[in-house]
């Protein structure tokens, strides 16, 4: 872990993803504003105060979290001083936005049924199996969630905006980093190694009651 003081009101904390994994810290749980996340952030802030003198007393914080393409998890804390309000620090996370220039996109489904619902939707739309959108489409089960990985995306695909808008109705963006894809391959359970959408369509068709 590395703590950098960018300005008097802003610091950046950089983690190696593998180091977090060894500590059994789920990266993606950190971008959710839960009680556990807030406790973790407050612990980090105490360390930041000791190391770089970043004092958050009487301040609110904006916290930005994202995963870099070179395998690092980065937290940026921006201090917003408000002398009129003496409230405790309540970290809020700004979720990372989709990187449209990335060749990778990984989406998290709450369960397999939601994935099948998405596949059924695609079948009934003009998008189909998305073979022209990405050269490889895989599905993994990891921590009781299902992750759909689009690899080698054609960033010039004419209906890419429609793909991203459609999938957000069924899943949420997990990462644009191939590092997380590698982690899924190593620690997750492979459901469909490739052609996941078409396999999901076939499964949904044969299991309609």
**What's the pLDDT at 68?**
56
Please, are residues 73 and 65 in contact by the beta-carbon 8 Å criterion?
A: yes
Determine contact, residues 139/115, Cβ cutoff 8 Å: yes
Q: Are residues 75 and 117 in the same domain?
A: no
Together in a domain, 131 and 177: yes
- Judged against a pLDDT cut of 50, whether residue 171 lies above it is answered with yes
- Does the pLDDT of residue 194 top 90, yes or no? yes
Residue 146 predicted with pLDDT over 90: yes
Final residue belonging to a domain, choices 65, 94, 123? 94
Residue 18 pLDDT grade (very low, low, confident, very high; cuts 50, 70, 90): low
Is a pLDDT exceeding 90 seen at residue 134? yes
CB 153 within 8 A of CB 134: yes
The more confidently predicted of residues 98 and 153 is 153
Residues 76 and 121 in one domain: no
Mean pLDDT of 119-125: 87
Residue ending a domain, among 94, 127, 144, is 94
Half-sphere exposure of 41 (CA within 13 A, CB side): 30
Identify the domain containing residue 148 by its residue range.
104-206
Q: What SS3 class is residue 130?
A: coil
Task: Starting at the earlier edge strand, list the strands of the sheet with 2-7.
Answer: 2-7, 10-16, 72-81, 59-67, 92-94
pTM reported for the whole predicted model: 0.55
**Domain containing residue 108: CATH number:** 3.30.70.1950
Q: What is the mean pLDDT of residues 136-164?
A: 90
Query: Are 140 and 69 contained in the same domain?
Result: no
Co-location of 58 and 147 in the same domain: no
The pLDDT value recorded for residue 198 is 94
Which is more confidently placed, 147 or 61? 147
Average pLDDT over residues 66-87: 62
Q: Which of 61, 94, 127 is the last residue of a domain?
A: 94
| β-bridge pairing 172-175 and 189-192 | unpaired
Confidence (pLDDT) at 84: 37
Residue indicated by tokens 């690092």 = 72
Concatenating the DSSP letter of every residue in 159-184 gives THHHHHHHHTTT-EEEES-HHHHHHH
Assess whether 90 and 125 both reside in one domain.
no
Report yes or no on 99 lying in a domain: no
pLDDT of residue 203: 92
Residue-level pLDDT at 111: 93
Q: Say whether pLDDT at 85 is over 60.
A: no
Nearest to 38 by CA among 29, 51, 26, 49: 29
47 and 110 in a single domain? The answer is: no
């Amino acid at each position: 872990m590395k703590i950098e003081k960018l300005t008097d009101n802003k610091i950046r904390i950089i983690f190696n993803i593998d180091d977090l994994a060894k500590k059994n810290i789920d990266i993606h749980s950190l971008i959710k504003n839960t009680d556990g996340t807030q406790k973790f952030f407050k612990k980090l802030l105490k360390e930041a105060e000791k190391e770089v003198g970043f004092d958050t007393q009487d301040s609110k914080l904006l916290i930005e979290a994202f995963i870099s393409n070179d395998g690092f998890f980065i937290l940026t804390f921006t201090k917003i001083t408000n002398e009129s309000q003496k409230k405790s620090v309540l970290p809020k996370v700004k979720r990372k936005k989709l990187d449209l220039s990335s060749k990778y996109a990984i989406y998290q489904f709450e369960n397999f049924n939601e994935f099948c619902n998405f596949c059924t939707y695609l079948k009934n739309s003009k998008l189909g199996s998305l073979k022209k959108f990405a050269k490889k489409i895989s599905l993994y089960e990891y921590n009781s969630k299902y992750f759909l990985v689009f690899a080698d995306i054609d960033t010039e695909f004419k209906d890419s905006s429609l793909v991203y808008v459609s999938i957000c109705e069924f899943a949420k963006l997990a990462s644009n980093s191939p590092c997380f894809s590698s982690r899924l391959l190593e620690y997750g359970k492979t459901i469909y190694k490739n052609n996941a959408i078409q396999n999901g369509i076939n499964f949904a068709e044969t299991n309609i009651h």
